[in-house]
């Protein structure tokens, strides 16, 4: 007596189809993730690490920052913004400084004071006390008139900062974005907003 067994191809086919469907879904998820992550990473926000002490006491060495790259597509940098930009003397390097002078303004620094001349204040005004710095800088004397696409930037640690006092203004096309969030260390996590200045005419 012979027994004949019929091979169950239906179960094997279902398993193969399920495996193929699983890998297809993985590919879809990866493609969608890349389509979202790449534009965000390269056109909206970028991570940066702080190097050096030029922005102390607000930023310390090796802190991790998230940079907003989209805001300046809709507006120009304003006084007090914290910029990340390409170093004018070596575009491969990125610097972080604060905007002090705006396009077409004249900036005078003397005896620890910053005086700004522009169309609204032709007689100039002294930049009010900057609460984000913890020391004055009396040794520097500078006067510069900015072009229509230039910004004058300073480090918050004025006594130990390589900034526009030394390498000159930063051009608009060298600006990468503004500091938005400090993500690391966690105990110093913070969202940064631009300070307001109470301007008093001279």
Q: How confident is the prediction along the chain (202 residues), in pLDDT tens digits per residue? A: 554 445 555 666 656 666 666 566 666 554 444 444 444 444 445 677 788 888 888 888 888 888 888 888 889 999 999 999 999 999 889 999 999 999 999 999 887 788 999 988 888 888 887 777 776 665 677 889 999 999 999 998 888 889 998 899 999 999 999 988 888 888 888 888 888 776 666 5
Q: What is the model's pTM?
A: 0.73
Residues 134 and 175 in one domain: yes
Split into its structural domains, the chain has a count of 2
Tell me the C-alpha to C-alpha distance, in Å, between residue 120 and each of 75, 116, 117, 128.
Answer: 20, 10, 8, 16
Marked catalytic residue, from 6, 12, 33, 54: 54
Marked catalytic residue, from 97, 121, 147, 161: 97
* 54 carries an active-site annotation: yes
Distance CA 9, CA 41 (A): 47
**pLDDT at residue 100, rounded to an integer:** 93
Q: How far apart are the first and last CA of the chain?
A: 115
Residues 39 and 59 in one domain: no
**pLDDT at residue 99, rounded to an integer:** 95
Question: Contact, 165 vs 51, CB < 8 A?
Answer: no
Q: Give 22's contacts (C-beta < 8 A, 6+ positions apart).
A: none
Q: Is residue 92 part of a domain?
A: yes
**DSSP 8-state assignment for residue 43:** I
Q: Which domain holds residue 20?
A: 11-44
Question: Contact, 131 vs 146, CB < 8 A?
Answer: no
Question: Contact, 112 vs 137, CB < 8 A?
Answer: yes
Q: Is residue 61 part of a domain?
A: yes
């Amino acid at each position: 007596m012979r027994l004949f067994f019929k091979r169950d191809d239906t179960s094997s086919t279902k398993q193969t189809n399920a495996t193929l469907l699983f890998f297809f879904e993985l590919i879809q998820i990866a493609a969608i993730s890349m389509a979202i992550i790449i534009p965000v990473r390269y056109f909206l926000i970028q991570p940066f690490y702080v190097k050096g002490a030029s922005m102390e006491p607000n930023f310390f060495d090796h802190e991790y920052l998230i940079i907003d790259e989209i805001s300046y597509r809709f507006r120009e940098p304003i006084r007090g913004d914290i910029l990340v930009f390409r170093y004018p003397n070596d575009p491969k390097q990125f610097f972080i400084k604060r905007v002090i002078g705006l396009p077409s303004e004249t900036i005078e620094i003397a005896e620890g004071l910053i005086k700004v001349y522009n169309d609204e204040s032709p007689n100039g005004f002294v930049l009010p006390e900057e609460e984000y710095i913890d020391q004055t800088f009396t040794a520097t004397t500078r006067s510069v008139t900015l072009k229509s696409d230039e910004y004058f930037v300073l480090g918050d640690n004025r006594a130990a900062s390589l900034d526009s006092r030394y390498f000159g203004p930063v051009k608009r096309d060298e600006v990468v974005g503004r500091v938005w969030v400090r993500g690391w260390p966690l105990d110093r996590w913070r969202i940064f907003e631009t300070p307001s200045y109470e301007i008093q005419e001279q």
